[in-house]
Amino acid sequence: MLEHRMELFACRASKNFAAKVIDEMNGFLKDEKVHLGSSEVTMFSDGEFQPAYTESVRGATVFIIQSTFPPTDNLMELLLSIDAAKRASADKVIAVMPYFGWARQDRKDRPRVAIGAKLVANMLRAAGADRVMTCDLHADQIQGFFDIPVDHIYASKVFIPFIKSQNIENLAIAAPDMGGAKRAHAYAKELGCPVIICHKSRAKANVVASITAIGDVEDKNVIIVDDMIDTAGTLTKAADVLMAKGARSVRACATHPVLSGPAYDNINNSALSEVYVTDSIPLTADPSVDKSKIHVVSLANTFAKIINKVYNYEEISSEFIF
């Protein structure tokens, strides 16, 4: 009978995050230590690529760490890696996706459009994934798109202790739009502070027409909480509105730093004093980009604990705040 064992691998876009997860795991494991499994990607002249494992995964529970932010090659590499593990006789394959790309395409909001989140869920299952781990889905109900177990982690697990450690006076939590009201309420409940709701109308995708704030803003140190920052258009306009209504300061906590297009410039030119994000997506490596307002709070320890508990068939409910 084959020995029950864990193998951890990472696709290219999440190698650094995977290394941090393994460091965290080796910090609390008492017995055998874990390592990042050996793999390679063969590139072809037409742009295609082929992932391969350079060590045996036969009979193992394989965790593959990869966030599926653009380009789409990141998603394709994850799918091919899952397929390769199943064809190499892995016992189970678990896709660890700190950022689940395409999650904003969770419904038909206009005629004749795709539901990308459901399609990605189907592709992960078709590739051979037995389980998915992810963090702060754009909408909780995306879990229902899967016919396999989903471990949905909340970044509040790291953000709320971090916010408490800052000892911010006259704190208020704000939602950047009506869709984030539930998240803002959960943060405010844990932090014992009031909630502000920003109501926005969009001219088109990634373009905000107007924002109004509902709630007591005067003299508050406001933290806007959201699941992601893309172009930062909504976030920075909300910050400007809150400052205009009398806020003492405005910060932001956003799980996934997509930060596309003019995002860095928008943040640097806005009323935001600080922006807290996680390492689900790496920040740009461009040294010419000013990242001084952006601070990273790591999810590595949280993912390390949940990976270990799932592998050992332990309950994970204690790892969730809301």
Contact, 50 vs 19, CB < 8 A?
no
Which residue pairs from 188-196 have beta carbons closer than 8 angstroms and sit at least 24 positions apart in sequence?
A: 190/156, 190/160, 190/321, 190/322, 191/160, 191/163, 191/164, 194/220, 196/172, 196/220, 196/222, 196/242
Q: For position 203, what pLDDT does the model report?
A: 56
Paired residues of 275 in beta bridges: 252, 294
pLDDT band at 297 (very low <50, low <70, confident <90, very high): very high
Contact, 124 vs 82, CB < 8 A?
yes
Residues 130-183: pLDDT tens digits? Answer: 999 999 999 999 999 999 999 999 999 999 999 999 999 999 999 988 888 999
Report the C-alpha gap between 251 and 242 in whole angstroms.
Answer: 11
165: Cα separation from own chain's centroid: 22
Report the C-alpha gap between 10 and 107 in whole angstroms.
Answer: 30
Mean pLDDT for the stretch of residues 242-254: 96
pLDDT band at 201 (very low <50, low <70, confident <90, very high): low
Mean pLDDT for the stretch of residues 19-28: 95
Q: For position 317, what pLDDT does the model report?
A: 84
Prediction pTM value? 0.93
Mean pLDDT for the stretch of residues 2-11: 88
Residues 43-59: pLDDT tens digits? Answer: 999 999 999 999 999 99
Helical H segments across 128-180, by residue range: 156-166
Residue 1 has pLDDT above 70, yes or no: no
Mean pLDDT for the stretch of residues 308-322: 84
Active site residues: 200
Residue 322 has pLDDT above 60, yes or no: no
Q: Residues near 1 by Cβ (< 8 Å), separated by ≥ 6?
A: none
Report the C-alpha gap between 28 and 304 in whole angstroms.
Answer: 9
Q: Show the CA angle centred on residue 321, arms to residues 219 and 236, nearest 5°.
A: 40
Q: For position 2, what pLDDT does the model report?
A: 58
Report the C-alpha gap between 310 and 159 in whole angstroms.
Answer: 23
Residue 318 has pLDDT above 80, yes or no: no
Report the C-alpha gap between 98 and 152 in whole angstroms.
Answer: 10
Cβ count near 169 (within 10 Å):
8
Helical H segments across 223-278, by residue range: 233-244, 263-268
Contact, 67 vs 35, CB < 8 A?
no
Paired residues of 6 in beta bridges: 61
Mean pLDDT for the stretch of residues 7-23: 98
Relative to beta strand 221-229, strand 249-257 is: parallel
Whole-number mean pLDDT of the chain?
Answer: 93
Paired residues of 214 in beta bridges: 197
**b/e burial code for range 49-79 (CB count within 10 A of at least 16 → b):** eebebeeebeebbbbbbbbbbeeebbbbbbb
Q: For position 136, what pLDDT does the model report?
A: 96
Q: Containing H/E element for 252? A: strand 249-257
